[in-house]
Structure 1
Amino acid sequence: MTQEVYQLLENYMLHCMKDSAHDKEHIYRVLYTALDIAGTEQGADKDVLICACLLHDIGRREQFEDPRLDHAAVGAEKARRFLMEHGFGEVAARRTAACIRTHRFRAEQPPESLEAKILFDADKLEAAGALGAARTLLYLGRAGQPLYSMTPQGRVADGAGDEPPSFFHEYRYKLEGLYGRFFTRRGAQLAHLRRAAAADFYRALLAEVSLPYERGPGLLRAELDGKAAKPGP
């Protein structure tokens, strides 16, 4: 890939990226990690991989504006059209689009090509460790989701079965379980190095937000009951 082609792709990516959790720095990290992983695999087409990494989230704005849309599907079609309009071959455009279409964690279609598996792993590493927790908080904050929800007994829910979703729910249902979902050896290795940081953060945050509810309601009731027993000021 030439510098001119890279610049063309980068400029289009920069035009599309507006989300603080999925910004241009996220794209660069995914690209750099993907190249790291590709260096440990035989036969990866790095031109397709670079295209797919740079363009994998260009459908985010459409999904944010209409949550019924799948940013992976939208981005795949946008990327295919862009590449075809700028002189890329049909095969390269189609292969790049396939990588983008299957990079999403919850997608029903798993990645098939080596390039698609590398993109999947590089993108999923962004949800691992301390970085994954920080990015999730950014995304949920923009979407108006809380850190946690309360049980009917007045305790902080740990994320299992939360309604509506919360950070703890996202951790238990996505972040906690992603470490067995990697396709490449290097991706799994990098994920393992990050796992403890995410688990420690979750446990510490759960403990800190739970502590005020352990004695606080009782202290408040005692204060209010005491005031009620006394005449007015």
Structure 2
Amino acid sequence: MSPELDALARGLAVPYYDDALPAHDGCHARRVRDLSLRLAGEWDRSPDRGVLAAAAWLHDIGRPLERVGEIDDHGEWAAAEAAPLLASEGVTAERIDAVVHCLRSHSIRPSSPDPETPAAKLLFDADKLDAAGAVGLVRLACIVGERSGRAGEKYAAIDTGSVDGADAGVPDLTLLREWARERLDALYTPPGRRRGESRWAFMQDFFDRFEAETAAPDA
């Protein structure tokens, strides 16, 4: 572990999250940092842990700007923003390049490059795992609310779609299941996939319970 790079990146990143909403705030960055390091400890391909921790702190610093439409790609923006910040603090060019690759490749969007290094794959997996399990359900629901606020209308309904109502035609809770499964299917590392299946099992139980609680009464 490289505590100096970890702490440095945290200090640089935290102010960028001041205007972040809950799904992509500093708490999310901390969880991704912690989980990525745990995954690293369970894999035989050892990354530069300082690079991994730094990238986790910095990966979503552009989210507040992307949310309001000031930038198009928070990963590319974070890479361009972080590189000179790290250089000004004396971080070596090699490690900066490694962090930049992690930032550019952490997103699931089709335009993002594939993660090629152990650190980049671990960051990708930890970020996607934070959209699964108990934490993931809360985050995905926050994203639905965030997108509803931005669009000015309901983005999805907290329902199963099994009952006719005013929200016909609006995506229902199935959307959260699809978002989570898409991310879990994209995981790169063996420890990431193991944790993913555990979190998916919890989500399946949750969806079953949700459907039972919202079922229409017997006629």
User: TM-score scaled by structure 2?
Assistant: 0.81
Residues 2/130 of structure 1: CA separation in 2 closer, same or farther (3 Å cut): closer
Report the Cα distance in structure 2 between the residues aligned to 1:16 and 1:180, rounded to whole angstroms: 30
Does 1:90 find its partner at 2:93? yes
What per-residue deviation string (whole Å, max 9, x for no partner) do you get for residues 142-200 of structure 1? 2223335897x93698xxxx96555532422x212333322111111111111111122
What SS is found at the alignment partner of 2:31? helix
Report the Cα distance in structure 2 between the residues aligned to 1:207 and 1:155, rounded to whole angstroms: 18
* Counterpart selection for 1:21 from 20, 23, 27: 23
Residues 2/195 of structure 1: CA separation in 2 closer, same or farther (3 Å cut): closer
What SS is found at the alignment partner of 1:97? helix
Report the Cα distance in structure 1 between the residues aligned to 2:126 and 2:67, rounded to whole angstroms: 22
CA contact 2:40–2:47 (8 Å) conserved in 1: yes
What per-residue deviation string (whole Å, max 9, x for no partner) do you get for residues 104-135 of structure 1? 12243221111100101111110111211111
Amino acid at match of 2:128: K
Residues 68/23 of structure 1: CA separation in 2 closer, same or farther (3 Å cut): closer
Does 1:72 find its partner at 2:75? yes
Q: How many residues align?
A: 208
Q: Map residues 46-57 of structure 1 onto 2, 5 A cutoff.
A: 46-57=49-60
Bigger relative contact order, structure 1 or 2 (CA pairs below 8 A, ≥6 apart): 2
User: TM-score scaled by structure 1?
Assistant: 0.77
Residues 5/147 of structure 1: CA separation in 2 closer, same or farther (3 Å cut): same
Which ranges of structure 1 fall in alignment gaps of 5 or more residues? 216-233
Does 1:180 find its partner at 2:190? no
Give the equivalent residue in structure 2 for 1:230: none
* Counterpart selection for 1:147 from 140, 157, 181: 157
Residues 134/67 of structure 1: CA separation in 2 closer, same or farther (3 Å cut): farther
Report the Cα distance in structure 2 between the residues aligned to 1:203 and 1:66, rounded to whole angstroms: 37
Does 1:31 find its partner at 2:33? yes
Report the Cα distance in structure 1 between the residues aligned to 2:117 and 2:10, rounded to whole angstroms: 23
What SS is found at the alignment partner of 1:176? helix
Percent sequence identity over aligned pairs: 29
Q: CA RMSD in A?
A: 2.8
